[in-house]
Structure 1
Amino acid sequence: MRPRQAGKDGEAFEADLIRQESAGLLRVERTVEKPDARRIRMPDGQSGIDFSSNSYLGLHQRVRARAVRRFLSAGHLTSAGSSRMVSGTHPPHRRLERSLADFLRAEDAAVFGSGFLCCFGVIDTLAGSRDRIFFDERIHASLRAGIDHTRAPSFSYRHLDMDDLRRKLAARDIRGRRFIVTDGLYSMGGDFAPLDTLAELADRHGAWLIVDDAHGIGAIGASGRGTYERFGRAPEARHILIGTLSKTLASYGGFVAASSAVIRYIKARSKAFIYTTAAPPFQILAAEEALAIVRSRTGAELREKLQSNIRLLVRLLKRRPVSQIVPVPIAGGSSAVLEAAQSLWSAGCFAPGMRYPTVPRGQEMIRISLSAAHRPSDIRRLAAALGHSRP
């Protein structure tokens, strides 16, 4: 067998990157500093208002000192050391899981090392090749990766189109289990899945409903229980609710809340849970602190502040309010959206330009992410800058 020629292989990768750059699709990471919950600073010293963060209540600044104090006083190590199935579960992990389950009105929960691992692992564990999976065409990439890995027959339905989903559910045989997979609040469009209708369809067809509400939990609803609360519902027996610790809960990790039987099965069978080191105790403590605020009067006040910021921006932009994620369509393709993002930054507002494959071709946008940490003056500055950045 001839040895691989690393140089030529590297050249092929480089050529692919050049093609992406020429098409305006190359992703390049930035080094930034974030001195507080609303500002961002670049290496050249230029600073501005951050409209890219998913910390929707600004808790990543509030919980920092509390989590550090608890971490130091409890004497936890910096790492969990190994998988929970190998070296055991630290008390904070189970405490957080019970708190999440109680908050979300589920029987139990399981915390994963990341949101991507959680979405991938839950679907890969629960669905098999004999099952059928029906999913919204715009679900998160982590859900789609899990679906693809199951090798189960899968069928996409048009975004938020319940009639299309009805037709596809009615047209497929009932061998094995059925799963309906959706986001709760969609991360690019900022629109909500109709969980009331989805729950009814799942019940009618005996299907499991998997909802990734990473962007809704903590930020949406009077109590912060996310998209379910927005529709006046709670998870049911065959519902599986996925969330993240890395957005409103101001830490890092993912979680799933469901019936006790489902959670036991996931912990016993999910490769993404078993074969990876558990989240560091400090991250769990930070999430605990954030969840406590989310459930408090302060959390309710922050959610109202977030809603006030949403109302202000959509009034200035003359748009209908939907959520804290506000897409601003940009015509002209990838180069145009990058230019628009740079124009915003020149005006002191940092908001990313979204391109293919994050969004479909022809649907390039500036993604505005609002936070309770933003001031009314920040919102007005953004609205004024958008008036000069849109072609």
Structure 2
Amino acid sequence: MASDPNKLFFSGTAYLGMPFNEDFRKLVFEGMELYGINHGASRNNNITLDIFSEAEKVAAKRFLSDDSILVSSGYLAAQLVIQHYHGSHQFLYAPESHPALYFGAPLISKTKYTDWVEQAIKEINSAKKPILIISNALNNLTPEIFDFAWLSRIDLEREVVVLVDDSHGVGIMGEKGEGTYSKIPELPNIQKIVISSMAKALGIDAGLILANSALINKLRTSPVYAGSSPPSPGILYAFVHSEHTYNQELIKLRKNINNFIAMLTIGDGMFFIKDFPVFLVENQALAEGILTKGIHISSFPYPDPQGKKLNRIVLSSVHKMGELEILADTINILNSRNF
């Protein structure tokens, strides 16, 4: 199967290819016909649209939580929770925590996540104040999935809230793309909350909060929530009616990941983890070689704009077999030349 290397694109975060999915796009237009392009009124208005509550019920069920809130962005979802706990809780940030979760200019640990965990347990168990743990569900840059089993080592008398950003896991991680919420241990002294940007795998400009109903109801009383506009109702309609499409695209994505890995005869200079579509190109010469062949991979300094380039290959469900073959063949040839 022939493909034009100059049009090969292995970057971005549209893991399930939703911006290009015809079935999904039709549902978006259908939803806009029903509900309009946007709905600028507060969610606490006495006049609202049924699609908002319907989408929240669907999100809670799909991502295995008790309840959910949908807001206009992942940043707003993060800040709604952060500001709710500001003043009452001491904030403890894990390494690689996303800037959307920041309040002010926090000190973020530069240690490895596993080393930070040991320090965090000691700090939490000796704290005078309730703790809000803030962490990503995974590091999509390196990549690395974080395990939250360590929460069971926190003293039972300590009151703890754990806030996890699952923006790069919702829709693609877990058996059916359910994400991280159900993977966080249920413990009597720990309130768990998962937030996510839905603009990655799900293709929706909205933010998601997953938690128990008691907390969700409290968050609905926040002035931040009352004063903000909701997501586009038309696109939420598409979300509600796209479960089959999401499932089919997840199957395609996992097939692409497995096929690509199988095509690599020499995988030197790259790092990847099971079922995650991001491949870290650790060898700068290999990354430059791929780019010179007209294959577009993610390659720029991050998070420090003045630092070293971070080079990554990102697969999606829309990549064709021929495109994967060209990428894999290029990598194999470059590696055989000791790049």
* Residue 238 of structure 1, aligned match among 185, 191, 206: 191
Q: What are the Cα deviations for residues 118-143 of structure 1, in whole angstroms up to 9, with x where unaligned?
A: 12222122x22352222222111111
1:67 maps to a residue whose letter is V
Are 1:85 and 2:38 matched, yes or no?
no
Distance in 1 of aligned mates of 2:111 and 2:317: 32
The answer (yes or no) to whether the contact 1:327–1:367 under 8 Å persists in 2 is yes
Are 1:289 and 2:245 matched, yes or no?
no
Are 1:247 and 2:205 matched, yes or no?
no
CA shift in 2, pair 1:293/1:347, >3 Å: same
CA shift in 2, pair 1:122/1:358, >3 Å: farther
Distance in 2 of aligned mates of 1:217 and 1:316: 31
* TM-fit CA distance, 1:260: 0.7
How do 1:16-165 residues align onto structure 2 when only pairs under 5 Å count?
Answer: 47-62=6-21, 63-72=24-33, 75-86=34-45, 88-125=47-84, 127-143=85-101, 145=102, 147-148=103-104, 156=109, 158-161=111-114, 163-165=115-117
1:252 maps to a residue whose letter is D
* TM-fit CA distance, 1:331: 4.8
In the alignment of these two chains, the number of paired residues is 325
Which SS does the other structure have where 2:202 is aligned? coil
CA shift in 2, pair 1:234/1:254, >3 Å: farther
* TM-fit CA distance, 1:285: 1.9
Distance in 1 of aligned mates of 2:203 and 2:264: 26
CA shift in 2, pair 1:96/1:68, >3 Å: same
Q: What are the Cα deviations for residues 224-244 of structure 1, in whole angstroms up to 9, with x where unaligned?
A: 112456xx5566661101122
* TM-fit CA distance, 1:249: 1.0
2:319 maps to a residue whose letter is H
* TM-fit CA distance, 1:371: 1.1
* TM-fit CA distance, 1:361: 3.2
2:25 maps to a residue whose letter is R
Please tell me the root mean square deviation across aligned C-alpha atoms, in Å: 3.3
Which SS does the other structure have where 2:92 is aligned? strand
Q: What are the Cα deviations for residues 7-29 of structure 1, in whole angstroms up to 9, with x where unaligned?
A: xxxxxxxxxxxxxxxxxxxxxxx
What TM-score comes out, normalization by structure 2 length? 0.82
Are 1:180 and 2:133 matched, yes or no?
yes
The answer (yes or no) to whether the contact 2:143–2:272 under 8 Å persists in 1 is no
| Partner residue, 1:311 | 261
Are 1:265 and 2:218 matched, yes or no?
yes
Distance in 2 of aligned mates of 1:50 and 1:91: 39
| Partner residue, 2:327 | 382
The answer (yes or no) to whether the contact 2:253–2:316 under 8 Å persists in 1 is no
* TM-fit CA distance, 1:189: 1.4
Could you tell which deviates more after superposition, 215-224 or 201-210?
201-210
Which SS does the other structure have where 1:255 is aligned? strand
Could you tell which deviates more after superposition, 95-104 or 306-315?
306-315
The answer (yes or no) to whether the contact 1:314–1:321 under 8 Å persists in 2 is no
Q: What are the Cα deviations for residues 275-303 of structure 1, in whole angstroms up to 9, with x where unaligned?
A: 22211112212322344533x4x255235
CA shift in 2, pair 1:129/1:83, >3 Å: same
| Aligned-residue identity in percent | 19
* Residue 169 of structure 1, aligned match among 114, 121, 128: 121
Distance in 1 of aligned mates of 2:313 and 2:211: 31
* Residue 217 of structure 1, aligned match among 163, 170, 173: 170
Distance in 2 of aligned mates of 1:119 and 1:221: 22
Which SS does the other structure have where 1:211 is aligned? strand
* TM-fit CA distance, 1:99: 0.8
Distance in 2 of aligned mates of 1:345 and 1:382: 11
Structure 2 spans left out of the alignment, 5+ residues: none
The answer (yes or no) to whether the contact 2:271–2:279 under 8 Å persists in 1 is no
The answer (yes or no) to whether the contact 1:324–1:369 under 8 Å persists in 2 is yes
Which SS does the other structure have where 1:268 is aligned? coil
Structure 1 spans left out of the alignment, 5+ residues: 1-38, 41-45
Distance in 1 of aligned mates of 2:104 and 2:154: 21
| Partner residue, 2:317 | 372
CA shift in 2, pair 1:329/1:277, >3 Å: same
Distance in 2 of aligned mates of 1:358 and 1:227: 28
Distance in 2 of aligned mates of 1:314 and 1:206: 48
CA shift in 2, pair 1:100/1:234, >3 Å: farther
The answer (yes or no) to whether the contact 1:105–1:234 under 8 Å persists in 2 is no
* Residue 227 of structure 2, aligned match among 270, 275, 282: 275
What TM-score comes out, normalization by structure 1 length? 0.72
Distance in 1 of aligned mates of 2:41 and 2:222: 17
Indicate the structure with greater helix content: 1
- Structure with the greater relative contact order (CA < 8 A, sep ≥ 6): 1 or 2? 2
